[in-house]
Structure 1
Amino acid sequence: MHEIEDTGSKAGAIELSGLEKPLGFVVDNSTPVVARFVSSNPPPVGDYVVIEHPDGIVLGMVEHVGTRSITLNALPGVYDPAIVEKLSAEMGDEDVFFECTARLLGDVETLRMPRLPPLPGARVYRAPSNLLKHVFGGKEPYWIRLGVLASRPDIPVYINVNRLVTRHTAILAVTGAGKSNTVAVIVDRLVKHGGTVLIFDFHGEYVGSSLGGRVNVIEPLLNPRLLSIAELMVLLGIEQRYYNQERVLRKALAKLKEAGSEEKGGFLDTLASIVEHMAHRRREESTAATAVVNKIESLRERYGEIIRDDAVDPVSRIRPGYANIVDLSRVDRDAADAVVSHMLRIVLAERKRHKLTGSSQVPFPVLIVVEEAHILAPRDEDTLSKYWLARIAREGRKFGVGLMLVSQRPKGLDPDILSQANNLVVLRIVEPSDQRYIQAASESLSDDLVAHLPSLNTGEAVVIGPFIRIPALVRIDKYEGRLGGADIDVVAEWQSLSRTLDEAGSVDDLVSEFM
């Protein structure tokens, strides 16, 4: 937990006399981590309470609320509906009470965790708004607003920018729960404060946006001369087990780098000629060389639009203070892997060079947003991007390279990389295996918080990590700009097509208009 920084407010110093009427009272079996209390007027799940404690006043987050009946509690084992119906006729509002659980978050002054549990009978109060505004507030540009508390819409929630970047972040949810909106809100506010963001956009959701008012779209063009051997092998489809083909390719690339060899034609043409010549000269390499020539021809057909000899390195096109969007919507998975791994490798190398020498083509910190992270860093498969994402997850914070992983399939994401994302924004997650997987990767997610993930409304999220002072159930702000990730209006499009068909007179006439 973080100490509450001085923001000029006196909200941290509260007195019991300034609190409202108690909500309830602590009962047995509380611990220094969890307090159990009973109430006749319970707070909602996700709300905050303050509790009397031997060391002062402790702040807690309500994680569980359950109903109990005094009458039924006195008659254990009554499960007959007829008996319960008769008893309920005699039970009034005073017969019902609520058992609640609050996770203790620390004392209200410093958020340091108590070493002793609250005592039985200790009074429990609704946390004052001025205290919560103090806890969740922050000064821009070091803090940016994420949304409001779901249980207290009058309390804005801010997150720490430095910890957002240096401690890495994961945004996880099912489709349609609000991942893209969350990314847009964060990126928009970072860019408005001069932040540099690099987004790998699989579906073109951000290409036409106006994030922060400064958007720089980067086409996924690669100069083959600048690719590593591993990246070139991915594009060629040469797997590591094809060691003969890899050996042929390495020899051909070595010859290609000799003086004058690149002047004979384009990179791929020259490479193909060298490999073909090798097939005729060495009998033992003939089969492998022929296969490599065929794969070079296939590469030209599949990736001719993104492989260009005159292409500049895409990293050199990253603009500081912009939302830099790499449009991967028109390339397949292998091409995306090559583009992303290449840029990750260069960005990390340039940031290291900047720290060591002060000279670099990336002389500014970068937050890298990886959409569909489970595709680039799958759990049970090795990819080039996965290797570099793992490197950045381990080393990036020292060099000003942050990661934001976005995924709708958490269990498909590499666990080592996910565990390096100390900050979590978890929107609605329905699949139990996904819930367990996320919880296993984060020690901060309690069983009670996980249990609420399926019932979150669109745009609501459990927010946990070093970038927020205490865990929160947050209603994410709505990004007011345009995004391409929203569901299409299927009925409206069908109706529009129907009207067009009526006007055209026939399907053939309509088709001819579009040919």
Structure 2
Amino acid sequence: MSREPGKEVGIVIGETTPAYAIYLSYEPPRLGEYVVIEHPEGPVLGMVEESLIGNAFLTEDAKDIRAAMKTIEMIGEERLYLKGKVRILSRLEDLVHKQKVRPVKTPPKPGAKVFLADTDTLTKIFVPRGASVLNGEAIYDEESGRGYIRIGTLANNPGVPVYVDVTRMVARHTAILAMTGAGKSNTVAVIADRVSRAFKGTLVLFDFHGEYLDAFPDADYNIVVPRINPNALKLSEIATLANISPSYHKQYRVLRLLYEVVYKKLSQSIEFRNRNFIEVMIDIVDDLESMEEEIKSKRPPQQPNKRRKISKEQVRQIAKEKYGDVADLVARLSDLKKDYLYEVVGKLEDLMLRYKAFLDINAPQYIGNLIVPGKLNVVDLSQVDREGSDVFVAYVARTLLEERKRYVTKGEGYGTPVFLVLEEAHILVPKDEDTNTKRVFSQVAREGRKFGVGICLVSQRPKNIDENSLSQTNNKIILRLIEPEDQRYVQKTSEQLSNELLGLLTSLDTGEAVVLGDFTILPTIVKIDEHKHKTMGRDPDVVREWMARSSKKKSGEPDLFDEFAKMQYGL
């Protein structure tokens, strides 16, 4: 029998529930396709989550291959049976006419006919109502104010486009997960490009490898080179850059006291406010040493023992002239072992050298000058190490959240919602390690919905992402995942990912994804559209590059690498 959409494909058999049914099919059911089942409450739509082929005369208990072969000769393939397991999703009428899910309360009856859902019906379900904009890549519903972007087509019915709700994608948070080479970067590019072009959305795409820098020629985008005013850094961020872990108790205590002194002076003194926060920390230790030398020099000649301990009170008295109200904190520093002070100074000096271009006292203080509203902001982290990336991403995220809070509560601050897309999320939001980004993103996941700040975690190693952060992404786009531990971890953080859908992840083709969550009307399998300017995520043409270099050598053309090697190493 034909598999033309709308045609009968089988009948329900065995025991059923309001959630699942088994049907006998005329042809092998296809995983992920939609079927319509007769039901006492009206036709229902279901998704095929399991496909089985069997033979009543060739069961798994068969032991003798010769007997099995004779059985095949006698009965042929006419005794094959084909079964599909269907997850019942909703009454069809509510999906088609209201685009709402309404589960049934009773199971379908055995013997009920099963039909393949037709293209027109599925289009009415997956394509939102509204005025189409941007060549069918986005839809805007003026009445509700909702916007939707097309991300692809149904994998089993390319004639049906699939759209996702942009507001829910941002407000309810999203995760894009896949093994390497499955189409993760292309999915990110499609979403970022279409949200930016259709709705002038404000996005921040944290790009670890510089692969998106030339990916959006049609979008209004802004390349962000990481620069931070050091005076805007938090204590934990300075500690990260200086490699001073809280577990280094003595060093961390020194850093905390220095931070308190400088932070309080910055709020009190214009002179301090115009200086580099970290340089001032180093100067405080130098000042402390000078104060102690001054105290020693003022001792009477009859007290020649200059090794005698200098009291905190002596330091406090002499520090009051320069440090005023924070002289007590400076005095507390004098009570610490000098080795710890010098170790911290050494690390701060290393920090200043290592992040010379990154820490800039002239960097814009207002986040809107860095992350431009209404643009696709691509943050180039390819030239920054892991610690620098952690600090910069955390700084941008926490500052945007703070500014959005100010805007929502007081009408001043960052005036537009923002979507933060974090590539390589397993690096900066790891499962078994504390990072600045992890703390901030966890806060955004909890509070961002109220203030218009959304996050999207992107990773090819889901099992290494912080479970709490991943579980707060209510929307998932899951491309092919082979590793069982990754699959189980993703299922643990997603309520809608059934065992059957989980089993589909290994059989997905490149660019196909299980899409589920608040931003789509139904769980579905989508063939993601290809980004037309796709340059990211591709394997290098290794052999082509080798052969091209070999050809240059044979033709006598100068090889730039060889020329550089001769100059550098005298080869």
* TM-score normalised over the length of structure 2: 0.83
The whole-number CA distance in structure 1 between the counterparts of 2:187 and 2:473 is: 16
Match of 1:322 among 359, 375, 390: 375
Distance 2:182 2:561 in 1: 40
Partner of 1:176: 181
Please name the residue that 2:126 is paired with.
Answer: 136
Once residues 226 and 538 of structure 2 are traced to their aligned partners in structure 1, the CA distance between those partners, rounded to angstroms, is 24
1:143–1:158 CA contact under 8 A, matched in 2: yes
Q: Could you tell which deviates more after superposition, 498-507 or 159-168?
A: 498-507
Relative to structure 1, the CA distance from residue 20 to residue 227 in structure 2 (aligned partners, 3 Å threshold; closer, same or farther) is closer
2:26 to 40, 45, 57: 40
Render the CA deviation track for 1:491-513: whole Å, top value 9, x for unaligned: 11111211233325799964468
Partner of residue 331, structure 2 = none
Mapped partners of 1:181, 1:417: distance in 2? 23
Change (3 A) 1:104 1:311: same
Partner of 1:114 in structure 2?
A: 104
Greater shift, 77-86 or 330-339, is seen at 77-86
- Contact 1:279/1:285 (<8 A) preserved: no
Q: Does 1:277 align with 2:277?
A: no
2:406 paired with 1:353: yes
In the alignment, what sits opposite 2:477?
425
Q: Larger radius of gyration, structure 1 or 2? A: 2
Query: 1:112 is matched by which residue type in structure 2?
Result: R
Letter matched to residue 74 of structure 2: E
Q: Which residue of 2 aligns with 1:213?
A: 219
8 Å CA contact 1:187, 1:212 repeated in 2 = no
Contact 1:236 1:299 in 2 (8 A): yes
Aligned Cα RMSD in Å?
Answer: 2.2
Give me the whole-angstrom Cα distance separating, in 1, the residues matched to 2:46 and 2:563: 64
Cα distance, 1:374 vs structure 2: 0.7
Q: Does structure 2 conserve the Cα–Cα contact (< 8 Å) formed by 1:30 and 1:117? A: yes
Superposition deviation, residue 448 in structure 1: 1.3
Shift of residue 450 of structure 1? 1.0
Note the 1:107-256 alignment, pairs <5 A: 107-110=91-94, 111-138=101-128, 139=130, 140-141=139-140, 142-193=147-198, 194-210=200-216, 212-256=218-262
Shift of 1:182: 0.1
Q: CA deviation at 1:260?
A: 6.0
Residue type of the alignment partner of 2:245: E
Aligned equivalents of 1:284 and 1:242: distance in 2? 14
User: In 2, are the aligned partners of 1:210 and 1:481 still within 8 Å (CA)?
Assistant: yes
Using the TM superposition, give the Cα deviation of residue 455 of structure 1 relative to its aligned residue in structure 2, in angstroms.
Answer: 1.8
Match of 2:53 in 1: 67
Residue 78 of structure 2: aligned partner: 94
* CA-CA distance at 1:423 after TM superposition: 0.6
Contact 2:186 2:534 in 1 (8 A): no
Q: 1:279 to 1:242 in 2, by over 3 A?
A: farther
Say which SS state the counterpart of residue 525 (structure 2) adopts: strand
| Unmatched tracts of structure 1, length 5 or more | 1-17
TM-score, normalised with respect to structure 1: 0.91
SS in 2 for 1:411: helix
Identity %: 42
| Deviation readout 1:95-127 (Å, 9 max, x if unpaired) | 212111010101002231111111111111111
How many residues get paired? 495
In structure 2, C-alpha distance between the alignment counterparts of 1:149 and 1:326, rounded to whole Å: 32
User: Residues of 2 paired with 1:134 and 1:263: CA distance?
Assistant: 60
Is residue 239–residue 245 contact of structure 2 (8 Å, CA) maintained in 1?
yes
Aligned to 2:307: none
SS of equivalent to 1:24: strand
2:498 to 431, 435, 446: 446
Q: Which of the residues 468, 479, 492 maps onto 2:531?
A: 479
> Is residue 2:446 matched to residue 1:394?
yes
Aligned-partner residue type, residue 168 of structure 1: H
1:192, 1:213 within 8 Å by CA — same for their partners in 2?
yes
Q: Displacement of 1:71 after TM fit? A: 3.4
Partner secondary structure for residue 470 of structure 1:
coil
Residue 379, structure 1, aligned to residue 431, structure 2: yes
Letter in 2 for 1:474: V
Aligned residue identity for 2:121 = L
Q: Which residue identity does 1:120 align to in structure 2?
A: P
Q: In structure 1, what is the equivalent of residue 88 of structure 2?
A: 104
User: Quick one: which of 262, 266, 269 aligns to 1:259?
Assistant: 269
Alpha-carbon offset, residue 479 of structure 1: 0.2
